[in-house]
Each structure stands twice: as C-alpha cells, then as structure tokens.
Amino acid sequence: MPKKKNGGFPVLELTDVWKTYEMGEEKIHALREFNLQIAQNDYMSIVGPSGSGKSTLLHMLGLLDVPTQGKVHMDGKNVSHMSTDDRAILRGKKIGFVFQVFNLVPSLTALENVALPMMIQGIDRSEREEKAAKILSDLGMGDRLDHLPGELSGGQRQRVAMSRALVNDPELILADEPTGNLDSKTGEEVVKLFDKLHKEGRTIVVVTHDNGIAKHADEQVYIVDGMIQNWTGKSHPEYTRKIKKNNV
C-alpha cells in the first residue's frame, strides 16, 4: 500500500449531494442525498440501470460538474464552489477521465489525441509522442497511431480515449463504461490494465454494465434512481453502515 499522500483524508467525499435538472416544470433528481467516500487506492465499481445517475456521479467525482446541493471534497478540500477553471486545473493534475462518449478531437490522429493532455502540461514534443505511442501500443493500437478518429472502429476509439486518460499518469482514474465497445479479449486487456494501475497505488472508479469487471473491483456500489441501494466492499466494511442513510 503506498504511503498516504493526502493526510489520510478520503481522496473524494460526497456529502448529501443532490443533482437536480430542471426541464420546464419537471425536476429530475439525477442524484439524491448522495453520500460516498473514496479512499486512496480504492478500486470501486459503480453499477445500476440506465438513467440511474452513474455518469452524473462520475462527472461529480471528476470535478466536471458541481452539485445542486451538498458538498464535494477532494483531499479534504471543498471543491463544490470552485470555478470551472480551477476545477479544470485540479483535474488536469490528478484525474484521468475515460468518458462514456469518447470526446476525441476529430481532426487529430490517435497519437495526437493521446499526446494532447501532455501538451497542456507543457511536456516537449518528442517525449509526448513517445509516451503516447507507448500507451497506445500497450493497448494494441501500435499500427493505428496515424489514423483519425473517423478512421477507427468504436472499440479502437475507446482505446484511444483510454490511452489519453492514462498518459499523464493520474492518481485517480475515472472510467465510464470503458469496455462498452470492446470485444471480450480487448476488454480483458483493459481489466488487466486497471489491475496493474491499482497495484501501483492508483485509485480507480469504474462505471460498468459488465458484471465481470464490477466483481473485479474491491468495492461495488449499486445505484438505483440516484441513490445507493447497495454497497459491498472487501476493504471497507465500515462504509456499509454509512449507506443505510441513503436507503430511504
């Protein structure tokens, strides 16, 4: 287990978080009074039916969105009221995000898409390209470096998105359906990669419909209708008490 770098605070903590979308007269509560703690080196899967709030939750954990009500703490610091720019800086330093929709830049090649976050971090070109090529090759994409996203299959695009999320060596990896478009063999490679990253001390939260991947994680959080319905965890049995609050 790596040394705690953040003073022992949970890496992420959601306290009584609500996310409400207003659609005309109607209010949609994507998250309801949601409480969750993620500790350093946790490996957590989030499962639940379509529309239950999984992506909304992951966006909250990835500082892409802020709650309508409630608080989000990262390393003990309240980030709920931080500006979009400040959240982006924090995210760039710490978080690798694999989106459910890939968000690749259509005019850039696979290699350039993966190298992009390193450019923002000010890493020089040869190092960027070397690192991007290495991680793409590790995911079986070594012969597709110069392809544009439109010239790749869905599963290949997913691997580019995955490479881009991991290339900055983030402490925290958040992935939304990372194997959704992959065949079972490539899916297994992704699972192996997560295992490796977890063993190296990283914190991983993965949204998935794949039972195999969900079971692979140490913690499984099952969400229904914006609330935690069940939380099982090998390493943090004390957490299961806290979820009772969510079972309204």
Ligand X SMILES: Nc1ncnc2c1ncn2[C@@H]1O[C@H](COP(=O)(O)OP(=O)(O)OP(=O)(O)O)[C@@H](O)[C@H]1O
Minimum CB–partner distance for residue 51 and ligand X (Å) = 4
Question: Which partner from the list ligand X, Mg ion, none does 67 bind, CB cut-off 5 to 8 Å by kind?
Answer: none
CB atoms within 10 A of CB 228: 26
Write down the least CB distance from residue 192 to Mg ion, Å: 24
Q: Which is nearer to Mg ion, 112 or 177 (CB)?
A: 177
Query: Which of the listed partners (Mg ion, ligand X, none) does 248 bind, with a CB threshold of 5 to 8 Å by partner kind?
Result: none
Kindly identify the residues of this chain, within the stretch 59-118, that bind ligand X according to CB under 6 A: 100
How far is CA 76 from each of CA 37, 69, 72, 244, rounded to the nearest angstrom? 11, 18, 9, 23
Strands 43-47 and 219-224 turn out to be parallel
Q: Is 32 in the site for ligand X (CB under 6 A)?
A: no
Which residues between 75 and 134 bind Mg ion (CB under 5 A)? 100
Q: Does 28 bind ligand X (CB under 6 A)?
A: yes
Nearest-approach distance from CB 107 to Mg ion, in angstroms: 26
Is 53 an interacting residue with respect to ligand X (CB under 6 A)? yes
Shortest Cβ 225–ligand X spacing (Å): 9
41 binds ligand X (CB under 6 A): no
Q: Are 240 and 211 in contact (CB under 8 A)?
A: no
Does position 40 bind Mg ion by CB under 5 A?
no
Cβ–Cβ < 8 Å for 239, 37: yes
Residue 55 touches Mg ion, criterion: CB under 5 A = yes
In the bound state with ligand X, the residue whose beta carbon lies nearer, of 52 and 246, is 52
Whether residue 65 contacts residue 82, with contact meaning beta carbons closer than 8 Å, is answered with no
Residues within the interface to Mg ion (CB under 5 A): 55, 100
Residues within the interface to ligand X (CB under 6 A): 21, 23, 28, 30, 48, 50-56, 100
